């Protein structure tokens, strides 16, 4: 099923893109959440306008996150985690844990999907 994305969808595409997705994914998640509409010829004609709106929204978010990056520059964060006697972690420090600490320290809501990193073990 082809859909027109109305907003950026993580790991799928950006606003204004026409994507082929599974019918269940479109009907049960994308359309009810207002993230996409069926890619009819009329809807596809509006993709340029939707793309421009998405670019404006992304630019605003990038500007906000640039400010967050400046606030984070040079800061150190401490994570409590269980470790063996040889100082190897039993678990890992993941993006969700990082997002919680950063949000608490800076006062700006940061989502885990906005953080790009490899799990720390």
CATH code at 34? 3.40.5.10
Give tens-digit pLDDT for 46-65.
888 999 998 999 899 888 87
106 inside domain: yes
**Do 88 and 50 fall into the same domain?**
no
3-state helix, strand, coil in the chain (%, to 5): 45, 15, 40
Question: What's the average model confidence in pLDDT over 67-73?
Answer: 80
> Which of 35-44, 74-83, 91-100, 104-113 is the most confident on average?
35-44
In this predicted structure, what is the pLDDT of residue 72?
Answer: 81
Number of domains within the chain:
2
In this predicted structure, what is the pLDDT of residue 115?
Answer: 81
pTM of the model: 0.62
Q: Comparing C-alpha atoms, which of 43, 34, 42 is closest to residue 4?
A: 43
**Do 60 and 80 fall into the same domain?**
no
pLDDT > 90? residue 10: no
119 inside domain: no
Parent domain of 61: 2-66
CB-based contacts of 54: which residues, under 8 Å, 6+ apart? 7, 8, 14, 15, 16
CB-based contacts of 109: which residues, under 8 Å, 6+ apart? 103
**Do 55 and 110 fall into the same domain?**
no
Q: In angstroms, what CA-CA distances link 76 with 46, 56, 104, 107, 121?
A: 46, 32, 13, 16, 17
Confidence of residue 120 (pLDDT cuts 50, 70, 90): low
121 inside domain: no
**Do 56 and 79 fall into the same domain?**
no
Q: Comparing C-alpha atoms, which of 58, 7, 10 is closest to residue 36?
A: 7
Record the tokens describing residue 20, joined without a space. 């082929």
**Do 45 and 88 fall into the same domain?**
no
In this predicted structure, what is the pLDDT of residue 119?
Answer: 60
In this predicted structure, what is the pLDDT of residue 4?
Answer: 94
In this predicted structure, what is the pLDDT of residue 41?
Answer: 93
Longest dimension (CA), the chain: 64
Alpha-carbon distance 14 to 104, whole Å? 29
């Amino acid at each position: 099923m082809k859909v027109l994305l109305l907003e950026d969808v993580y790991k799928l595409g950006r606003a204004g893109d026409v994507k082929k997705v599974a019918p269940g994914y479109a009907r049960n998640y994308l359309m009810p959440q207002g993230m996409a509409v069926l890619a009819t010829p009329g809807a596809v004609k509006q993709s340029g306008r939707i793309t421009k709106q998405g670019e404006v929204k992304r630019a605003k978010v990038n500007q906000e996150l640039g400010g967050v990056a400046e606030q984070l520059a040079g800061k150190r964060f401490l994570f409590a985690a269980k470790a063996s006697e040889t100082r190897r972690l039993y678990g890992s420090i993941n993006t969700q844990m990082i997002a919680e600490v950063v949000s608490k320290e800076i006062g700006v809501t940061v989502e885990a999907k906005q953080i790009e990193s490899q799990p720390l073990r």
